[in-house]
Homo-oligomer: A and B are copies of this chain.
Amino acid sequence: MKTLSPDQQALFGLLNEIGIINQLSSSLLERLLPHGLTVAQFSLLNHLQRLEGEWSPARLAAAFQVTRGTMTSTLQRLEAKGFISLVPDPADGRAKIVTLTDAGRRARDAALAAAGPGLAEMKDALSPSEVAAVIPVLQKLRIWLDMHR
């Protein structure tokens, strides 16, 4: 039977662990979020609220490391919920401009308020210093993966 080297196994195990954490944390978080918001939708609302300026779907797709098609889909769902508005960019006939609506701002605040306690509870699992220690390592991995796309 073919096998991997111990180092390869450890790396595979790491990716596996990451996959499970992603799955569990997403579904946990989505259970807390109001308006049937998904993590993708919440992240987008949050991004638009925190970072001022004009955002096109293409810029958002790049910021979130997803394809333009994925962003189209998420934006359409948020628009259907009335949380963002999408208008043509007068300066570029191909582009659109994404704007948070007032309802979107309220939804984002409500979502943040709902998610906060869950994140606070998670400190029982991982101390802030553990979080701080692990983040740079994962960033290195993420950057490497991004470059080898």
Contact residues of A with B, CB < 8 Å?
1-5, 7-8, 10-29, 39, 43, 49-50, 65-66, 109, 112-113, 115-116, 119-126, 128, 130-135, 137-146, 148-149
Report yes or no: A134 in contact with B137, Cβ–Cβ below 8 A.
yes
Name the residue in A14, A39, A112 with the highest tally of chain B Cβ atoms < 10 Å from its Cβ.
A14
Given contacts A145-B28, A146-B24, contact A138 B65 (CB under 8 A): no
Tell me whether A134 and B131 are in contact (CB under 8 A): no
User: Which chain B positions have C-beta within 8 A of A27?
Assistant: 149
Count of identical protomers in the assembly = 2
Taking a contact as CB atoms under 8 Å apart, the answer to whether A65 and B4 are in contact is no
Q: Is A8 a contact of B142 with CB atoms below 8 Å?
A: no
